[in-house]
Amino acid sequence: MRKRRRRQIFEKIEVLDAGAKGKAVAKAPDGRVIFLSNAVPGDVVDIQTVKKRKAYFEGTVTKVHAYSSKRTQPHCKHFGTCGGCKWQHMSYEHQLFFKQKEVENNLKRIGNLKLPEISPILGSKKKYFYRNKMEFSFSDSRWLTENEINSKTPITDKNALGFHIPGMWDKILDIDMCHLQENPSNAIRLEFKKKALTLGIPFYNPRQRSGVLRTLMIRISSLGEIMVLVQFFKDVPAKREQLLGYIKKTFPEITSLLYTINEKANDTIYDQKILCFSGRDHIFEKMENLTFKINPKSFYQTNSEQAYELYRVTRDFAGLTGKELVYDLYTGTGTIAQFVAKGAKKVIGVESVPEAIADAKVNAENNAITNTEFYAGEMRTVLNFDFIDKNGAPDVVITDPPRDGMHKQVVEQLLNTAPPRIVYVSCNSATQARDLDILQSQYQIKKVQPVDMFPQTHHVENVVLLEKQV
């Protein structure tokens, strides 16, 4: 029988820093690092360990002796249970400080990079209600709060429409009010739940794979257009019509009311048929003089205002004069490609998702952009010598990969192609640093600009300009 390790208590420990994944960082008396999820740098606290590793502990705060001057009052009643906004208890100027510090640390420690002076992070004007897309999950066995568990009152309402508890794939926290998306997002979500319960439509249970209602997605564009997509586990035509008909009548401002029937084990919709109940099957976004058609499967940056700032930095770093051939890798629906197209001779966009490329082509046509071409396929197989021979060697490469960064073969192909300039946009400065470490054999980093897309969280975007060494 395995012996259970005793949890340790450390008293009056000062919290020193904010680290990866939004964790606060302290040090135990023996020098080992302690990662905390419920503290702010500057707090003086008692800590109980919950996990012990060779080099570090994971712990939780049991008592606060002194509160940090970096603290602020969280806006949301769900803070501390919902894992969506882990830094709500830290004032925004300090959030920006630690995001900038994370970028600098990752580039220096992981990449061992020779860096210019890093530009101050671009903060978001909106601290709350900045997201244009939210996804909520239904559950018939919601997460119970500590107060509910300690209460002697019987729990009769176990239905939820909200967010996954961190690390709990089958547990959903019921949300009363979310501060991330502007109205009528909260009203739509609450009415969906209320009407579904009135109609007796069962909520989904992922363990038993039972119930009917699975997920709810709400998109609100900068033009005020609203898309709502409901995911059902199985079809119940009469009640589905009643539910969606009620939402249509209650919220006539909804531009696109959609649904899908997904009988798979997971909630992904990319292989599902989306059906239009009311309105259009798409909404529109606008950036400068460009209009983008957004369908339910489209990727679009979830903070519209900061996406504009991110793309402006990208375009500025590209330094286009009108003569350049630009490759836009991981182009998505071609937003960056079209945003820089007016300053380039031609832009070639590459993306693995065929539906995204179809959207990119439609958007380019709608925007009367004639100097773009888009290709669908896995980056490491598409970006080969034949492709470059056919399309021409790029003068500038813009790359905006997913969190895992670029595949090693893609990095190697960039080194083989050796464009004069590379603009690397990243949502994960750790994997960005890894890729830059390889690229620095031929390139020099000229500019670094962090951009905060997600206030109240630890996430940060970073844009780096590389120039070919002479």
**Segments in 22-181 forming alpha helices (H):** 92-105, 146-150
Q: Mean pLDDT for each consecutive 10-residue tract of the chain (470 residues)?
A: 67 92 91 92 95 90 96 92 90 97 93 93 97 96 80 83 87 94 97 98 94 98 97 97 98 98 93 96 94 90 95 98 97 94 97 90 96 96 95 97 95 96 97 96 97 96 96
**Which pLDDT belongs to residue 146?**
74
Q: Which helix (H) or strand (E) holds 386?
A: helix 385-391
Structure tokens at 395: 């003068």
Nearest one of 315, 339, 307 to 454, comparing CA atoms:
307
**Which pLDDT belongs to residue 38?**
86
**Which pLDDT belongs to residue 1?**
39
Three-point CA angle 315, 461, 293, nearest 5°:
60
**Which pLDDT belongs to residue 455?**
97
Nearest one of 186, 189, 182 to 225, comparing CA atoms:
182
Q: Is 383 helix (H, G, I), strand (E, B) or coil?
A: coil
**Segments in 216-353 forming alpha helices (H):** 237-250, 304-318, 335-341
Q: Of 82, 85, 178, 427, which one is the catalytic site residue?
A: 427
Nearest one of 272, 441, 286 to 363, comparing CA atoms:
286
CA-CA distance, 95 to 106, in Å (whole number)?
17
Q: Is 427 a catalytic residue?
A: yes
Is-above-0.85 flag for pTM?
A: yes
DSSP 416: H
Whole-angstrom CA distances from 463 to 21, 24, 328, 467 are 20, 25, 14, 13
Neighbours of 265 (CB within 10 A): 8
**Which pLDDT belongs to residue 233?**
97
Residue 35 β-bridge partners: 25, 58
Amino acid, single-letter form, for residue 262? N
DSSP 42: T
**Segments in 156-229 forming alpha helices (H):** 185-199
**Residue-wise pLDDT tens digits, 2-46:** 444 578 999 999 999 997 788 999 999 999 999 998 899 999 999
